[in-house]
Structure 1
Amino acid sequence: MSFSYSERLLPSFWQVLASMLVIPAVWLITLPILGEFAIVVALAVWFVVIATMLARSKKLDIRDGRFAAGSAQIPLSLLGKSEIIAPEDMRSQLGPDLDARAYLCFKSGKKGLVKIDVSDKSDPTPYWLVSTNDPRSLVEALSRKN
């Protein structure tokens, strides 16, 4: 039986709000040159920034026996146990306790973090740390791999 899971890590509301600072910056720079047309250019630049943020948003995907997180993918058969990292442990997992060989698919502003062990002995990556909007659903989907 085949199953799938898909999730896109979109920019947070605060990241979109902060990107709006592009509008007055571009407007002030182009105002002496373009006059009234400067606001149109500023809004166009902001739309390009938003489109870039959306296009570069990372995707988590479980399909056809593979798990993809961002630009990396691995067969589900090579994954070990997965666990939800508690919010209070996120800082240590991403800082002092982080193994430099681990694969990170981290998106700031996301509250969920899942640690997925790699059981392949020939792979130097010991585990993946993956940001998610819904850690329980991701762990459940990974546990249904067999």
Structure 2
Amino acid sequence: MARYVERLRVPWWWWVATAMLAGLFAAELWRGVNTVPAWLPFALALGLAAAGLWWLGRIEIRVTDDELVVDDARLPLTAIADVVPINAAGRRELLGPAADPMAFVIQRPWLPTAAQVLLDDPADPTPYWVISTARPVELAAAVTAARAAASSPGGSGRR
């Protein structure tokens, strides 16, 4: 059962702007190449644009009773030392001058905030994860609650 689920979707206005740009491109193509049916450039351009936006917003963050899942990456809660919510300025610093090249990063430029997941696993050379999220405080609280529930007597006990 998931304690927290978030999909990193693109903003709604990206769909509108992309549809307008794809329509403009299709109209230009249709006017320049009159040997194809009129609907074909529009169907292809709008379909490719929608597929691209869907692909950009496909990443899902999930906190379960025993792990943090970001897209296809899985991190056991036992390997997490702490989760720190990061504001826009902190994210810019963490991904810029203070960046560690060994860090695991899932960054989406349309999301100004992030969460830094500090790791406590001597076998893993990754010092931390940086995950773009619209709700960093809720993500940190969900991981903390799941870790507390797992370590309490009568917790899930699965490791």
TM-score bracket for this pair, using the shorter chain length: 0.7 to 0.9
Matching residue's letter, 2:64? R
Asked if 1:122 corresponds to 2:112, the answer is: no
Matching residue's letter, 1:49? A
Asked if 1:52 corresponds to 2:52, the answer is: yes
| CA apart distance, 1:31 | 2.5
Deviation string 1:92-123 (CA, Å, 9 cap, x unpaired) is: 11111010000001111112211000110110
Gaps of 5+ in 2: 149-159
Deviation string 1:30-78 (CA, Å, 9 cap, x unpaired) is: 3233479435532442233223322442110112411111231111111
Partner of 2:9: 10
Decide whether the 8 Å contact of 1:27 with 1:39 is kept in 2.
no
Normalised to the residue count of structure 2, the TM-score between the two structures is 0.79
Decide whether the 8 Å contact of 1:23 with 1:43 is kept in 2.
no
Matching residue's letter, 1:11? V
Mark the structure with the bigger radius of gyration: 2
Matching residue's letter, 1:27? A
- CA–CA distance in structure 1, aligned partners of residues 22 and 93 of structure 2: 33
| Structure with the larger strand share | 1
Normalised to the residue count of structure 1, the TM-score between the two structures is 0.86
Q: How large is the Cα RMSD of the aligned pairs?
A: 2.2
Paired residues, number: 145
Percentage of matched positions with identical amino acids: 22
1:1-146 aligned at under 5 Å gives the runs 4-20=3-19, 21-34=21-34, 37-38=37-38, 41-56=41-56, 57-144=58-145, 145-146=147-148
Matching residue's letter, 2:15? V
